[in-house]
């Protein structure tokens, strides 16, 4: 069952994503934070800006929660993604997966981040010393079963 998805321009709170999965009585909670790093492709990154087609992005995040809970029925999954300007070290995405068994929590969290990269219409604008560039965002059709299977394979590796 979906524990919640959120797209916000406010700074992400890692404990809020944990609370969203209601971990009481659960055996494992796995969290993943995607942070803005200070380098990419040999360039010094100054900051990032994320843009989203919010209605479709939210639909994509909800689909990921639905897919993950179909694969791992006991898992509670929450995904929070940030938009707007982010400085080095700030979290752009926070994922929490709660499950009675740690293996399922780890797999569901990994699956979620892989699917976000595949299907959620959120785009990254990277500003670096000497310029800026848009980083390619999601390119897979949410209904593409090959992409889904690839994410599942990575998550369960």
pLDDT of residue 59: 95
Q: How many domains does the chain have?
A: 1
Residues 78, 79, 82, CA angle at the centre, nearest 5°?
145
Alpha helices, DSSP H only, in the chain?
14-20, 54-71, 102-119, 145-155
Q: What is the pLDDT of residue 157?
A: 77
pTM (whole model) above 0.85: yes
Residue-wise burial string across 114-128, b where 16 or more C-beta atoms lie within 10 A, e elsewhere: bbbbbbbbbbbebeb
- The SS3 assignment for 101 reads coil
Residue 25's pLDDT is 86
**Each residue's pLDDT tens digit, 17-33:** 999 999 888 989 999 99
pLDDT recorded at residue 143: 86
- pLDDT under 50 in the chain at which residues? 1-2
pLDDT of amino acid 3 = 54
CA 4 – CA 98 distance, rounded (Å) = 12
The pLDDT of residue 139 is: 75
**Closest among 117, 84, 82 to 5, alpha carbons compared:** 82
CATH for 41: 3.90.1170.40
Strands of the sheet containing 91-99, edge to edge, are 2-8, 76-82, 91-99, 28-35
Domain that holds residue 110: 2-155
């Amino acid at each position: 069952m979906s524990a919640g998805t959120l797209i916000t321009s406010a700074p992400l709170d890692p404990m809020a994503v944990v609370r969203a999965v209601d971990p009481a009585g659960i055996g494992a909670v796995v969290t993943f934070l995607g942070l803005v790093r200070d380098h990419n492709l040999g360039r010094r990154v100054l900051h990032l800006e994320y843009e989203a087609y919010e209605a479709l992005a939210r639909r994509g995040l909800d689909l990921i929660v639905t897919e993950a809970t179909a694969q791992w029925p006991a898992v509670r999954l929450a995904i929070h993604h940030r938009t707007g300007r982010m400085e080095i070290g700030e979290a752009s995405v926070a994922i929490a997966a709660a499950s009675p068994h740690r293996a399922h929590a780890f797999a569901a969290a990994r699956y979620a981040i892989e699917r976000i990269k595949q299907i959620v219409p959120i785009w990254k604008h990277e500003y670096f010393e000497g310029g800026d560039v848009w980083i390619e965002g999601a390119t897979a059709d949410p209904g593409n079963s090959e992409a889904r299977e690839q994410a599942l394979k990575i998550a369960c590796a």
